[in-house]
Amino acid sequence: MFKTTWPKKENIKREWWIVDASKYPLGRMASKIVSLLTGKYKPYYEPSVEMGDHVIVINASKVKVTGEKKEKKIYYWHTPYPGGLKQMKMSEMIKMNPEKIITLAVKRMLPKNKLRDKWLSRLKVYPGENHPYTSQKPKIVKFEND
């Protein structure tokens, strides 16, 4: 028998990562962000313990999508009123609220459990190059193809 040691809150080191949305396609970028937020890449990963890192996404207004998704993909939501189904194309959403596209892509890839809100609170998305987290010295995310 071997003794397992669970990671404790005091021992978890959270890092800061920065992702440029203009360089990578939306889906691949979102799956990489999910891995960073949940901490799956760490050798001591435990699914029931929140050990993820902070992720900053810049250039959300220049997000890359493949094919004809900008014109064909439609986002739906419902207001609390009868007949309140609303919809918006991705191209309109990029103009109005580009941060929401990346946030929704990441949110829908995360597991539906109690930790999802904590993971999403560590995701910061900005439409341009500027962000207020330079003092945390974030590392730049490198994808496999870089």
CA-based torsion, 45, 138, 121, 103: positive or negative: negative
In a domain, residue 3? The reply is no
In a domain, residue 113? The reply is yes
Residue 63 has a pLDDT of 95
- Band (20; pLDDT cuts 50, 70, 90): very high
Is 12 a residue whose pLDDT tops 90?
Answer: no
> Domain of 58?
13-66+93-140
| Bridge partners, residue 125, by sequence | 57
Is 109 a residue whose pLDDT tops 60?
Answer: yes
Q: What is the CATH number of the domain that holds 32?
A: 3.90.1180.10
Say how many domains are in the chain. Answer: 1
In a domain, residue 34? The reply is yes
Which amino acid belongs to residue 24?
Y
Residue 106 has a pLDDT of 98
